[in-house]
Homo-oligomer: A and B are copies of this chain.
Amino acid sequence: MTATPPIPDETTLARLRRASTPSIATLLHRRGLRNQYIQGVHRLGDQPRMVGPAFTLRYIPAREDLDVVEAFRDPTHPQRVAVETAPEGHVLVMDCRRDASAASLGSILFTRLEVRGCAGVVTDGGVRDAEPIASMATPCFAASPCAPTNLSKHHAVDINVPIGCGGAPVYPGDVIVGDGDGVMVIPAHLAAEIAEEAAGMEAFEDFVLEEVRAGRSVIGTYPPNAETLERFEAFKRGEYAPGQVFQKRVPA
């Protein structure tokens, strides 16, 4: 197990709680990172945005003589240990090799994670007890509900090592953000700057959306030409509202 890196500062986390995953995807794309989206998972309920550093758990395929119900009696079983040691505010991210034919965990372990202050769970495998989990306060992203125990397909083997999840690389401490469009993985060293840029981006996109609702063409507006940028500056100063005639400010 690698040492867990420090949690990003509260400003960064707060900004990311207001940032959509599409904005983050675009900002990472600008830096040449095109593969930081966890493919094939969705949120089970309608909780608010999930934000937190990754704490990882790696599974390999099960072997019938090792993966018996009695295995959980071992107090060092990595799945149980992960559930008891994932730090508060972290997101537990599990590598199930994109195999959703068996669960990663169920409502008892999920409840324990919630009680311990975990910020959320992501798995590219299945989740059992999906309906009770969907109704809880903590967000859970999974490939699918399913009934079979993880033992039937998955053998927990490593805690907090770099993993793949839904085709994306996840390093312990990477900042995980999840919402209705899925889950993005922000490399730890980029979290603060992505968070900062995302704030401005969201403000601009809210403005553009109002402009478009008021009848603007997207061409020249999104991405903006010089005049659109002027309108946006005027809007921020309270001198312009979308739909109004825009009077360019003439220097005195």
The interface residues of chain A, by DSSP majority, are classed as: mixed
Contact A181 B147 (CB under 8 A): yes
Q: Which of A6-14, A57-65, A191-199, A230-238 contacts B (4 or more CB under 8 A)?
A: A57-65
A152 adjacent to chain B (CB < 8 Å): yes
A18 adjacent to chain B (CB < 8 Å): no
Find A30's partner among B69, B81, B101, B111 (CB 8 Å cutoff).
Answer: B69
How distant is the Cα of A34 from the Cα of B73 in the complex, in angstroms? 20
Q: Which of A86-94, A125-133, A244-252 contacts B (4 or more CB under 8 A)?
A: A125-133
Find A97's partner among B83, B97, B212, B215 (CB 8 Å cutoff).
Answer: B97
A128 / chain B contacts, CB cutoff of 8 Å: 21-22, 25, 181
A32 adjacent to chain B (CB < 8 Å): yes
**A231 smallest CB distance to B (angstroms):** 15
How distant is the Cα of A103 from the Cα of B23 in the complex, in angstroms? 12
Contact B69 A112 (CB under 8 A): no
Contact B39 A130 (CB under 8 A): no
Instruction: Classify chain A's interface size.
Output: 35 or more
How distant is the Cα of A83 from the Cα of B212 in the complex, in angstroms? 12
How distant is the Cα of A103 from the Cα of B115 in the complex, in angstroms? 36
A147 / chain B contacts, CB cutoff of 8 Å: 20-22, 24-25, 37, 181-184
A223 adjacent to chain B (CB < 8 Å): yes
Find A62's partner among B35, B146, B223 (CB 8 Å cutoff).
Answer: B35
How distant is the Cα of A168 from the Cα of B64 in the complex, in angstroms? 11
A129 / chain B contacts, CB cutoff of 8 Å: 20, 22, 181
How distant is the Cα of A219 from the Cα of B77 in the complex, in angstroms? 9
How distant is the Cα of A115 from the Cα of B151 in the complex, in angstroms? 40
Contact A108 B212 (CB under 8 A): yes
A163 / chain B contacts, CB cutoff of 8 Å: 60
Interface residues, chain A, with chain B CB atoms under 8 Å away: 20-22, 24-26, 29-37, 39, 42, 60-65, 69-70, 72-73, 75, 80-81, 83-84, 97-98, 101, 103, 106-109, 111-112, 115, 128-131, 144-149, 151-152, 155, 157-158, 161-164, 167-170, 179-184, 187, 205, 208-209, 212-213, 215, 217-220, 222-223
